[in-house]
Structure 1
Amino acid sequence: MRALNPKRKRRKLGPKANPAPGNPLHAYLHAYTDWALAAGYSEHTMATRRAAVLRFIVWCDERSITRPVELTRPMLERYQRHLHQHRKSNGAPLSVMAQLGLLNAITAWCRWLVRQNHLLHNPAADLELPKKPKALPKTILTVQQVEAILNLSDVTTLLGLRNRAIMEVFYSSGIRRMELIGLKLYDLDIERGTLMVRMGKGRKDRFIPVGARACAWVDKYLVQVRPEIVTGYDDQTLFLDDFGQPMTVRFLGDLIRRHVEAGGITTPGACHVFRHAMATHMLENGADIRFIQAMLGHANLETTQIYTQVSMTKLKEIHSATHPARLERLKGVGKANPQDETNDAAAALLEALAQEDDEQE
C-alpha cells in the first residue's frame, strides 16, 4: 500500500474563458444555454454541453466559420474526423464515449438552431456517429481490496474520519459523485438506514437503503467532525470539504483518487469503483437484478442487465462443475435452473458501468 499524498494534483482546465471572443457563434450558444436551463435541463448537463460547443466554436473560428448557415454536414464530418485524430497531452486518443459526448452536444445545439429558424435543416441529423463500445469496466475491486482502501483513512483525525464516512456511503449505496455532493443533512435517516437521492441523473429522485456500518461512520462524522469544520453560512450540505464548504466534483474526485491510488489501484473515475464494487458484490451474494436497478437509479432494466455480469466467482464455480478438463466434479454445483435470473444473466457484460467510466474522463 502506498501512503496517502496530502497534496492534490492540479488538473489542467479546459479552454480559457471565452476563447475566440469575436466569433458571433457565441451569441447563439448563450441563447441556447438560456433556453435549455429555462426548459428544465440540469446545470450540470448544460455545463457539459456548453463546454463541448465552445470547443467546437474554437475549431470553427480557426476556419473563419462565423454563421449558423455555414454549418454543413461535410463541415461536421471534418470536425468528427478531427476529434478522432486528436491526441491528448499524454498522447492517448479521445475515447469513443468522449467523442460521442462532444458530437451529441453539437447535434443538440444544431437541433435548437433549426427550432429557432437559424437553420433550415439540421446538418447533424444524418451524421453517422461511432458506435458505443461494448467493454468491461476498467476496474472491479474485490471485497478485500475495498476493505483495504477503506482502512487507509486515519480515523483518528477529523478529515480522515470524514473520508472514511464518504467512502462507506459510496460503497454501501453505489451513488454517483454528483449525487453524493448534493446530499443534505435531512436526506440521510441514520435510524432507519435510508438515503434520499434528490435530482439524480435524469433529474429523478430515488429512495434507497444504506448499510448499518455506513450509517455508524456517518454518525461519527456528524457528531465529531462536521461541527468542527463547518464555517460561515451552513446550507445543510452533508459532507464538507477541508475548508468547511460544500464539496466540488473535482475536490471529491481528487480525494477519492488519492485513497484508491494509495491502495495500489490506478484507474480513471475513482468514485465509480465503489459503484462497480457494490453492484458486483451484491450480485455475488444473490441480490435480485431489479433491486440493483433501483439502487443504481437505472430507468431501464436492460441497462442493468447488460452490466450485471454474474461475478467471476460464480462463473468459476459453474466452469469447475461443468468443464470436462477438471480434477474432480463438484457435486450439486452448476445445475441449470430456468427460474434463476442470476444464472440467465451469467454471460452478460458490464457495458453500462464501462460507459459511465468513460463519462468520468
Structure 2
Amino acid sequence: MTLITPAARDALQKWLDHQRALKGASDNTIEAYSRDVAVFLSFMTAHHGEPQGLGAIAKITVSDMRAWMAATRRQDVGARSMARKLSAVKSFYRWLAEREGFEPTAVLATRSPKFSAKLPRPVEAEAAKDLISTVAENAPEDWVGARDSAVITLLYGCGLRISEALSLTRAAVPLGEVLRIEGKGGKERMVPVLPVARQAVAHYVALMPFELGPSDILFRGVRGRPLSPRVVQKSMAQARLQLGLPATATPHALRHSFATHLLNAGGDLRAIQELLGHASLSTTQAYTAVDLGRLLDVYDKTHPKAVAPEK
C-alpha cells in the first residue's frame, strides 16, 4: 500500500466498506478485492513514475489498462484470475466515478480475457460413502475418525461448504431436522439434515474429549483448537489415494455431488438452488452440470414472465 496516495487509499477503504455493508461481500471476497485493487493502483504509480491521486486515477487510459494487463499476465496469472482482478478494478472504478463525477469508460470498456469454465466433477454416490468410512478407519483415534466422518457427512449429506460445517457451534447439537446456515455474505438458509448426518455428529460429540460451551466451535483439532479446513482436506486426500479416486475428489466436490445426486433423483433445480444458497440459477446449473434443456424447462415453469396468466 506504500505506492498508493492517502486519498486513493481512503477511497479504496470506503469502497471496501461499501462492498461489505451494502453488497454483503464475504471477508474472503473483501480481502481479494483489497489486494487486487491495491496492486492495480500501485502498478499505475510505477507505470507513470509518480503517485496517483484521485485526479490521476480518473484519467486512466486504454493504453494504461493494456499495460497493466500485460504486466499482470507476464507474472503467470491465468485468464480466470486475470478476469477476477479486472472485475474488482471495474467495480471500484464504477463506484469511484459516481462519487467523483468522472467518466470511467477506459476502465469499464476493457475486455476480460476468455477462459473455459471448469465444470465440477461430482463424486459417485458409492465413492462418497467409501470416503466417509475410509477417513474414519485412517484416523489415529476413534474420536478423530468420528470427527472426520461427521464433517464429510455434512458436506455430502447437507451440501455445506467446508467453512460452513467448521463454523458450527456446540449449541447446534443435537442437530434437528433442519439446520440454519449462515453462508456467503451473511445470507441465511435452512438446510434439511438427514438422520445419518445427525447420527454422525452425535457420535462425534459422544467421543470428543473436550468440554465445550454453547458458543464454542463444534469440530476440534487434536489439541483442542478449532479444526482447520486443511486437516479435512488432508484426510480426504489420503482416503482418495487409497480408494483410487481422482484428485478432483475434494471436500468441495462433495457439495457438487450433493446437488448433482439430488437432481438426478428428480429434485427440483430451484429447490436445490435454495439448499446450496446460490444467488442465481446459473451457478446451480454449473454445480450440477445440468443440461440447457432442463434449465429452460425449469425457467418456463417458474419464471413470472414465462408463465402465462390464467384467463
Aligned to 2:274: 294
Q: Secondary structure at the match of 2:186?
A: coil
Q: Summarize the alignment of residues 179-258 of structure 1 with structure 2, pairs less than 5 Å apart.
A: 179-187=164-172, 190=175, 192-198=176-182, 200-225=183-208, 228-229=209-210, 235-248=215-228, 250=230, 252-258=232-238
State percent identity of aligned pairs: 23
Q: What are the residue-to-residue correspondences of 1:61-140 with 2, within 5 Å? A: 61-63=45-47, 64=49, 66-67=51-52, 68=54, 69-70=56-57, 71-87=60-76, 94=78, 96-117=79-100, 120-122=102-104, 123-131=106-114, 133-137=116-120, 139-140=121-122
SS for the counterpart of 2:108 is coil
User: SS at 1:206's partner residue?
Assistant: strand
The size of the alignment, in residue pairs, is 285
Measure the CA separation in 1 of the matches of 2:18 and 2:66. Answer: 27
Deviation readout 1:271-328 (Å, 9 max, x if unpaired): 2110111122222322232332222122333443455346xxxxxxxxxxxxxxxxxx
Post-superposition Cα deviations, 1:171-196, rounded to whole Å, max 9, x if no partner, equal: 10111123223323344652x33211
The answer as to whether partners of 1:150 and 1:164 remain within 8 angstroms in 2 is yes
Partners of 1:258 and 1:61 in 2: CA distance: 47
Superposed CA RMSD in Å reads: 3.3
- The answer (yes or no) to whether the contact 1:309–1:346 under 8 Å persists in 2 is no
Give the Cα separation in 1 of the matches to 2:158 and 2:205.
18
- Give the one of 140, 159, 163 matched to 2:144: 159
CA distance in 2, matches of 1:57, 1:255: 41
- 8 Å contact from structure 1 (residues 161, 221) kept in 2: yes
Partner of 2:258: 278
The amino acid across from 1:285 in the alignment is A
1:23 aligns with 2:4: yes
Give structure 1 stretches of 5+ with no counterpart: 1-17, 88-92, 311-341, 349-361
Q: Measured at CA, do residues 229 and 261 of structure 1 come closer, stay the same or move farther in structure 2, by a change above 3 Å?
A: farther
Name the TM-score, length of structure 2 as normaliser.
0.76
Q: Which residue of 2 aligns with 1:345?
A: 294
- On the 8 A contact 1:188/1:194 being kept in 2, the answer is no
Q: Distance in 1 between matches of 2:89 and 2:150?
A: 40
Tell me the distance in 1 between the aligned counterparts of 2:210 and 2:189: 29
Q: Distance in 1 between matches of 2:215 and 2:110?
A: 45
Question: Structure 1 residues 133 and 52, CA, compared in 2 at 3 Å: closer, same or farther?
Answer: same
Structure 1 residue 344, shift from structure 2 partner = 4.6
| Structure 2 residues not aligned, in runs of 5+ | 298-311
Q: Is the 8 A contact 1:309 1:347 kept in 2?
A: no
Distance 1:239 1:73, change over 3 A: farther
**Larger proportion of helix:** 2
CA contact under 8 A between 1:229 and 1:243: conserved in structure 2? no
Distance 1:346 1:73, change over 3 A: closer
TM superposition score normalised by structure 1:
0.67
Q: Following the alignment from structure 2 to structure 1, what is the Cα–Cα distance between the partners of residues 184 and 85? A: 19
3-state secondary structure, aligned to 1:66: coil
